[in-house]
Structures are given as structure tokens and as C-alpha cells.
Amino acid sequence: MKKLILSAAFLGLGVFGFAQTTQDRKANFEQKKAEHLQKMKQELNLTDAQVAQIKALHESKAAERKQDMTAKKEDRMQKMKENEAEMQKILTPEQFKKFQELKAKKMAERKAQFQDRKKADATVVK
């Protein structure tokens, strides 16, 4: 009987733990960045001016990474368009239409899988 009650208690705690959703990720990320800067300030004995310079450096590097990602995305999109134009030259109009339908179906499936994964990740407590 004790084992049954103990098992039910652990099961109940586990269910409540997984039922909680995570906080807003961006706010959590900003908080972690601030904590990291504070830790660096303490460990390296940085001045406020140095902390401000490091923060500016991190922000500029983040902007560069974002710009690089945008450029890479545009390059990928251009290559996809070129590939599609080449496929259109090779395939007959009927084949190309079916090719586009299959491609759209696969994209929809991938999007659904991504959304399902995203929902599952949101319910897991970190």
C-alpha cells in the first residue's frame, strides 16, 4: 500500500512539473546575458566602463551574426529559385506541376512536424 501511495505521489509531482510552461525565452535570454556580464565583472574585476564596452561588443557581434544569417538565407533562397528554374526547363509542364505539388506537400508536413516539436518543447520545464 505504501508503494502505491508513494508511486502515485511521484507520478503526480512529475505531471505537475511537466505541465508548467517555460517563461518567455527572450526575457530569460536577456536575464542570462545580464547575469553573465555581472559574473565577468566580478571574476575579472572590471570597471563599469569596461562592462559597457563588452556589452557594446556583444551587441555589435550579435548584429553581425544576424546580418550574416540574413545574407545566407537570401543566398539559399536565390539558389532554390535557380534550382526550380532549371527543373522547369527539364520537366514537362505536367511533371513540373506535380513536382511543385509534391514539394508543397513535403513543406506542409515539415511545418507540421516543426510546430508539434515546438509545442512539445514549450511544455518541458528546463
What would the grid cell of residue 123 be?
511544455
What would the grid cell of residue 76 be?
539559399
The confidence score (pLDDT) of residue 29 equals 84
pTM listed for this prediction: 0.54
The confidence score (pLDDT) of residue 96 equals 95
The closest of 42, 33, 35, 37 to 54, measured between CA atoms, is 37
How far is C-alpha 88 from the geometric centre of its chain's CA atoms? 33
The confidence score (pLDDT) of residue 20 equals 47
CB 22 within 8 A of CB 28: yes
Segments of the chain scoring below 70 in pLDDT: 1-23, 124-126
What would the grid cell of residue 7 be?
508511486
The confidence score (pLDDT) of residue 4 equals 55
Between CA 99 and CA 92 the distance in angstroms is 10
For 21, phi and psi rounded to 5 degrees? Answer: -95, 160
The confidence score (pLDDT) of residue 26 equals 77
